[in-house]
Amino acid sequence: MSIDRLSIVRGLSTVSVLAFLGTLGYFLMQLGYSRTRVIFFAGLGGLAVLGEAGVIFQRELVAVVGVCGLLVIGFWQAVLWVYIFPVVTVLLVATIVIAKENPTPTLAAE
């Protein structure tokens, strides 16, 4: 049984997204709990899960949408940058590996 590159990036991205969701859960329970924070964290968590789903199901566009959403929405929350940027980096690397492993056919090749 050999472990290929695709399995490694899937595993790493899954672990990083799960750790990010745990971090969001931790920060959600801190002082200052509000409905706005719940909505904001749900959006961040949803985008991270969307990016992870793109990696797992090998849909580069879905993963890129999740990553870009994390960057855009997470940009306004400087406290979470230290957690958002590593997740974004791992998801981007995983997306690049997926794109190299499974190149999409072009019209010229058909």
Each residue's pLDDT tens digit, 12-46:
999 999 999 999 999 888 888 788 888 999 999 99
Q: What's the whole-model pTM score?
A: 0.86
**Burial classification of residue 84, based on how many CB atoms lie within 10 Å of its CB (0-12 exposed, 13-18 middle, 19 or more buried):** buried
* pLDDT tens, position by position, 47-103: 999 999 999 998 899 999 999 999 999 888 788 889 999 999 999 999 999 888 877
Q: What is the DSSP letter of 80?
A: G
With cut-offs at 50, 70 and 90, classify the pLDDT of residue 1.
very low
Question: What is the residue extent of each domain of the chain?
Answer: 5-101
For residue 25, the 8-state DSSP code is H
- Determine the distance from the C-alpha atom of residue 90 to the mean position of all C-alpha atoms in its chain, rounded to a whole number: 7
Complete DSSP assignment for 86-99: HHHHHHHHHHHHHH
Q: How far apart are CA 105 and CA 110, in angstroms?
A: 7
